């Protein structure tokens, strides 16, 4: 049945070459843990992406209950965690995944560094990787405010003060991030917009570039 459907579509649109081009490649021996177990370090990039997908999916589901409003944000998080079936799991995925994605990204960066994979012709992918790193930190920073509890509030207070210490522009950056003179109602909506729309869009664009370059240049050779 599935095969029939696939063939029916393939006859009309010739989709086989498309997915072959994306997904059908030899895994070189030096990156395959089945050959040398130590090659597991080459999995960290893929694991980072896997957790990123979990963040995006669980985040999309969290927005079914979450409201970015200073009166109701905390209540909505409390409700989705304690009253909604599997709320603990879905919020837990997003909560722990947010830390795990940073850990994985860091390990992946170490692998790239110590295998020298950032060298020519792959310099641009190192730069894109660094941009991804900062966007991830931005996602962590903006997401952390959303539950609107004490920890969230003061972490943001501290984070914005750090941004405000930038010479000359600091004050403007602070007002821009806060959306006003204080960390308040307008900060929460702003951070929500950044967390849920702007930064994920930038992240996906950068990931697209990252993967395009890997596809074009191939994985770096063995040491």
Partner 1 sequence: MSENTSHSHSERKPGAKREMSRRQFLAYTLGGTTGFLAAGVIVPMVRFAVDPVLQPKSASDWVKVVEESKITAEPKSFKFQVHQVDGWYESDPELEAWIAKDSSGKIFALNPTCKHLGCTVNWNNNPSYKDQYFCPCHGAHYTKEGKNLAVAPAPLDEYDVKIENGFVYLGELHANSIVK
CB of 162 to partner 1, least distance (A): 7
* Structure tokens, 13: 């649109």
Residue 101, interface with ligand HEM (CB under 6 A)? yes
Q: Is the dihedral of CA 203, 205, 211, 216 positive or negative?
A: negative
Taking CA atoms, 32 is separated from 84, 112, 149, in Å, by 42, 16, 45
DSSP percent split of the chain into helix, strand, coil, nearest 5: 75, 0, 25
**Burial annotation 86-100 (CB, 10 A radius, 16+ → b, else e):** ebeebbebbbebbeb
Which residues, 17 to 76, sit near partner 1 by CB under 8 A? 70
Q: Least distance in Å: CB of 166 to ligand HEM?
A: 23
Site for partner 1 in 172-201 (CB under 8 A): 172, 175-176, 178-182, 184-186
Per CB under 6 A, contacts with ligand HEM among 145-174 are 146-147
* 94 counts as binding ligand HEM under rule CB under 6 A: yes
Is residue 87 involved in binding ligand HEM (CB under 6 A)?
Answer: no
Does the CA dihedral 192-89-206-39 come out positive or negative?
Answer: positive
Side-chain half-sphere of 199: how many Cα atoms within 13 Å?
Answer: 24
**What x-and-dash track marks residues 22-61 binding ligand HEM by CB under 6 A?**
------------------------------x--xx--xx-
Which of the choices ligand HEM, partner 1, none does residue 220 contact, using the CB cut-off of 5 to 8 A by kind? Answer: none
Whole-angstrom distance, CA of residue 220 vs CA of residue 190: 40
Q: Quick one: tokens of 199?
A: 């930064």
Rule CB under 6 A: which residues touch ligand HEM?
52, 55-56, 59-60, 62-63, 66, 77, 91, 94-95, 98, 101, 136, 139-140, 143-144, 146-147, 195-196, 200
Rule CB under 8 A: which residues touch partner 1?
70, 154, 157-158, 160-162, 172, 175-176, 178-182, 184-186
């Amino acid at each position: 049945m599935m095969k029939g459907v696939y063939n029916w579509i393939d006859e009309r649109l010739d989709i086989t070459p498309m997915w072959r081009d994306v997904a059908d490649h030899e895994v070189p021996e030096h990156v395959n843990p089945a050959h040398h177990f130590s090659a597991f370090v080459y999995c960290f990039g893929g694991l980072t992406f896997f957790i990123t997908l979990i963040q995006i999916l669980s985040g999309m589901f969290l927005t079914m209950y979450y409201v970015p409003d200073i009166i109701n944000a905390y209540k909505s998080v409390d409700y989705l965690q304690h009253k909604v079936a599997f709320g603990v799991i879905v919020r837990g995925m997003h909560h722990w995944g947010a830390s795990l994605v940073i850990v994985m990204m860091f390990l992946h960066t170490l692998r790239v560094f110590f295998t020298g994979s950032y060298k020519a012709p792959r310099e641009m992918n190192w730069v894109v990787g660094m941009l991804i790193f900062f966007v991830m930190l931005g996602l962590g920073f903006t997401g952390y405010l959303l539950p609107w509890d004490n920890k969230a509030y003061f972490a943001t207070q501290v984070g914005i003060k750090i941004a405000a210490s930038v010479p000359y522009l600091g004050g403007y950056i602070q007002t821009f991030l806060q959306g006003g003179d204080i960390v308040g109602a307008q900060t929460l909506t702003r951070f929500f917009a950044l967390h849920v729309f702007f930064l994920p869009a930038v992240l996906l664009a950068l990931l697209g570039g990252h993967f395009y370059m890997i596809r074009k240049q191939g994985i770096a050779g063995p040491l």
